[in-house]
Amino acid sequence: MTDRRKFVRFSLLTSAAMLAGKAISAQRKIEDDEVTYSTLRGQPVVVSTWDFGQQANAAAWKVLEQDGSPIDALEMGARVPEADPYNQTVGYGGRPDRDGRVTLDACMMDENGRCGAVAALEFVKHAISVARMVMERTPHVMLVGDGALQFALANGFRKENLLTVKSELEWREWLKTAKYTPYKNIENKMPGGQYNHDTIGMLAMDNRGNMGGACTTSGMAYKLHGRVGDSPIIGAGLYVDNEVGGATSSGVGEEVIRIVGSHLVVEYMRMGYTPEVACKKAVQRIAKRNPGMKDDFQVGFLALNKHGEYGAFALQKGFSYAIKNGREDTVYNANHLF
C-alpha cells in the first residue's frame, strides 16, 4: 500500500526560541531533500487548466473510472479541446502564427518517466496523439515541424486544414496593424478581456496511484513562424514524477522555459510543499526575474501530488482549473500574485 521513500522532517521552531518568547517564524527547516509519499490507491483524479478543462476531465474520467491508465485517460481528455473549432488556443481552430499557419505543440509523460512531444506540427489536429506515438513508437522524445508531420502521416493521421474561418478572419484583422512584439505585448489581454493563451495542461492519477500528464496548445497567437513555447518541452510545460506528483503550465511559454517551471514545481513538492504553495513559489520565481512587472503577461501553474491533493497559482487574476474525482467535478479560480 505504501511506497516508502526517503524522509523529510519539517522542524517548525526550536522550543528554546518559543520558551524565550521570541516571535514565531513560519520558516521551516528542511533537513533532507525528499518528502515521503504514500501511494493513494482507488481514488482516481484528473485536473486540467482552465474552465474548458472540465469537458476534457469528463472524457478522461470515463477512462479512469473503468480502471484505465492515466495516459489513456489524458489522451482522451486532451482530444476534446483539440477537436473543438471554437477553442482558439488548442488544436483545430487554434489561432495561427503571423504567417497564417496553425502550428501545434504537445507532449505526454507517463508514470515510468517515458515522454513524447511534437512541436510546430501543422495539419494534424490531435497533436497529443502524435506526441503519444513519439513516446511509444520511437526512441526519441520530440519531433518537430515537417518531421513531426511526416511521422504523423506515416502512422495513419489525416492531413487537414486547421485554420477555421473565425481564426482566419481575426488573423486578417490583426494583419492590418500587425503589431508584433514577440515577447510580452501580444500576450496581454485580448479585446474582451481574455488572455490569448489557454493551453490545456492535464494531470491524472489512476486507480493504482500511477500518474501521468499531457499538455497541448496552438501556442501564442501570431507568433513568429517556428516559435515553440513551453507546452511540448518536458520539464517546462509538463513534468511528472510518479514518486511525487506532476505539474503543468499555461501562459507565456518563454517565461516558463526560463525557470523550467513544471519541473521546479514538482521539486518543490518533493521538498514537502503543498501543490498550491509549490506553484506559488514557481510564480514568485518568474516575478523575481521580471522586476517591476505587474500585468505584463500571465503564467499559471497547476499541480497534483501523490496524495491526490491539487492546487494552482498564477501571476494574474483569471487563471482557472478544473478537477474531477469521485467526489467533485469543479472549476476553481486560482489564487494569484498581482
Catalytic residues: 199
Residue 220 binds ligand GLY (CB under 6 A): yes
Count of residues interacting with ligand GLY (CB under 6 A): 12
What does residue 117 show for φ and ψ, rounded to 5 degrees?
-150, 155
Minimum distance of ligand GLY from residue 217's CB (angstroms) = 5
Piece of the chain touching ligand GLY by CB under 6 A; list 31-39, 77-85, 121-129, 246-254:
246-254
Q: CA-to-CA distance for 279 and 179, rounded, in angstroms? A: 32
Residue number with CB closer to ligand GLY (256 or 269): 256
Piece of the chain touching ligand GLY by CB under 6 A; list 70-78, 144-152, 175-183, 224-232:
224-232
User: Site for ligand GLY (CB under 6 A): which residue of 97, 206, 230, 276?
Assistant: 230
Minimum distance of ligand GLY from residue 274's CB (angstroms) = 23
Residue 117 binds ligand GLY (CB under 6 A): no
What does residue 255 show for φ and ψ, rounded to 5 degrees?
-70, -35
Residue number with CB closer to ligand GLY (35 or 252): 252
Residue number with CB closer to ligand GLY (49 or 242): 49
Q: What is the DSSP string of 104-123?
A: EEEEEE-TTS-EEEEEEE-S
Q: CA-to-CA distance for 178 and 180, rounded, in angstroms? A: 6
HSE, CB side, 13 Å, CA atoms: give it for residue 29. Answer: 6
Residues in a beta bridge with 325: 45
Minimum distance of ligand GLY from residue 135's CB (angstroms) = 20
Look at strands 104-109 and 45-49 and give their pairing: unpaired
Minimum distance of ligand GLY from residue 230's CB (angstroms) = 5
User: Using an 8 Å Cβ cutoff, are 88 and 94 in contact?
Assistant: yes
DSSP 213: E
Distance set, CA 215 to CA 71, 158, 248 (Å): 12, 21, 7
Minimum distance of ligand GLY from residue 250's CB (angstroms) = 5
Q: CA-to-CA distance for 228 and 118, rounded, in angstroms? A: 10
User: Site for ligand GLY (CB under 6 A): which residue of 57, 167, 199, 262?
Assistant: 199
- Provide the 10 A C-beta neighbour count for residue 10: 11
Piece of the chain touching ligand GLY by CB under 6 A; list 68-76, 215-223, 308-316, 317-325:
215-223
Piece of the chain touching ligand GLY by CB under 6 A; list 57-65, 69-77, 121-129, 250-258:
250-258
Minimum distance of ligand GLY from residue 89's CB (angstroms) = 9
36: left (phi over 0), alpha (psi -120 to 50) or beta: beta
Residue number with CB closer to ligand GLY (95 or 306): 95
Residue 231 binds ligand GLY (CB under 6 A): yes
Give the three-state DSSP class for 144: strand
122-139 core/surface letters (b: 16 or more CB in 10 A; e: else): bbbbbbbbbbbbbbeeee
User: Site for ligand GLY (CB under 6 A): which residue of 68, 77, 245, 253?
Assistant: 253
Look at strands 115-121 and 104-109 and give their pairing: antiparallel
User: Site for ligand GLY (CB under 6 A): which residue of 53, 96, 213, 219?
Assistant: 219
Residue numbers at the binding site for ligand GLY (CB under 6 A): 197, 199, 217, 219-220, 229-231, 250-253
